[in-house]
């Protein structure tokens, strides 16, 4: 049973460029959340996708956008990259359900983005 | 708004001893979930333990236990019999209600170093 996968592992981009990061959720999961983790800090919530729609959004500008596909995989797009966008981007998947294990959320290994 | 505070940037513990990592939280929601994650240098966020706000007993998962004091709004992680492999960054996090919906709010983490 594959866990959450993310691609690419590392990425180097130049200021002003655009980037797309990809995430495949754990088997059986239908909800994907994206987080940005700057060096030495905790992850910050970017947004969450369920049923191919953005359901909740954190305090991030419109340069950050996303998409969820019918197979539940997701993309994070960042336009007009800034130096400050350099961070580890984490994807987390979960399943919208009630019950004992409804809190479970699994994280992928992350994509480390460097903007020069 | 939800807030997580971890006041210990770094902690040291001798192998085989127990260690407590502090976490305090603030929220106006009556129903919430508290989490602890381990993040090794590889970057992946590993779920350790969960405590629901209405759970009567403190959560335990193997060598991990959560010391939940609701009136003090604290959710400290206790690791018993520390192992060298426990050296990592540890994050306390909160999510609304006992569901996987919604964003998680993370603290800034505590770096734990286990000494042989």
Shortest Cα distance, chain B CAs vs residue A95, angstroms: 7
Residue A91 has pLDDT above 50, yes or no: yes
Which H/E stretch holds residue A24?
A: strand A19-24
Q: What pLDDT digit, counting tens, does each position of A51-65 carry?
A: 999 988 999 999 999
Residues of B in contact with A72 (CB under 8 A): none
Averaged pLDDT for residues B24-37: 91
Averaged pLDDT for residues A9-25: 97
Burial class of residue A91, CB neighbours in 10 A (0-12, 13-18, 19+): buried
Mean pLDDT of all residues belonging to chain B: 92
Which H/E stretch holds residue B21?
A: strand B19-21
CA angle, residues A103, A98, B34, in degrees to nearest 5 = 25
Q: What pLDDT digit, counting tens, does each position of B45-99 carry?
A: 999 999 988 888 999 999 999 999 999 999 999 999 999 999 999 999 998 764 4
Rounded to whole angstroms, how far apart are CA atoms B16 and B83? Answer: 6
Interface of B with A (CB under 8 A): 4, 33, 35, 37, 42-47, 50, 52, 91, 93, 95, 98-109
Residues of A in contact with B106 (CB under 8 A): 35, 42-44
- Asked if A7 and A111 count as a contact pair (C-beta separation under 8 A), the reply is yes
Residue B101 has pLDDT above 70, yes or no: no
The number of beta carbons lying within 10 Å of the beta carbon of residue A1 is 5
Q: In this structure, are strands B88-96 and B110-115 parallel, antiparallel, or unpaired?
A: antiparallel
Which residue in A33, A88, A90 is closest to B103 by CB distance?
A33
């Amino acid at each position: 049973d594959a866990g959450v996968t993310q691609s690419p592992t590392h990425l180097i981009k130049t200021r002003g460029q655009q980037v797309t990061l990809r995430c495949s959720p754990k088997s059986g999961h239908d909800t994907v959340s994206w987080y940005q983790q700057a060096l030495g800090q905790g992850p910050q919530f970017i947004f969450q996708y369920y049923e191919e729609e953005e359901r909740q959004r954190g305090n991030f500008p419109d340069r950050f956008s996303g998409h969820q596909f019918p197979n539940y995989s997701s993309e994070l797009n960042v336009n007009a990259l800034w130096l400050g966008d350099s961070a580890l981007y984490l994807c987390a998947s979960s399943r919208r359900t009630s019950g004992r294990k409804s809190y479970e959320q699994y994280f992928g290994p992350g994509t480390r983005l460097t903007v020069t | 708004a939800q807030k997580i505070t971890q006041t210990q940037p770094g902690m040291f513990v001798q192998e085989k001893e127990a260690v407590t990592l502090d976490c305090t939280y603030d929220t106006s929601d009556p129903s919430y979930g508290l989490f602890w994650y381990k993040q090794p240098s590889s970057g992946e966020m590993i779920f350790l333990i969960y405590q629901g706000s209405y759970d009567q007993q403190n959560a335990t998962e193997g060598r991990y236990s959560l010391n939940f004091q609701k009136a003090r709004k604290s959710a400290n992680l206790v690791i018993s019999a520390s192992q060298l492999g426990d050296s990592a960054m540890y994050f306390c996090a909160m999510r609304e209600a006992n569901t996987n919906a919604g964003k998680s709010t993370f603290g800034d983490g505590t770096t734990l170093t286990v000494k042989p």
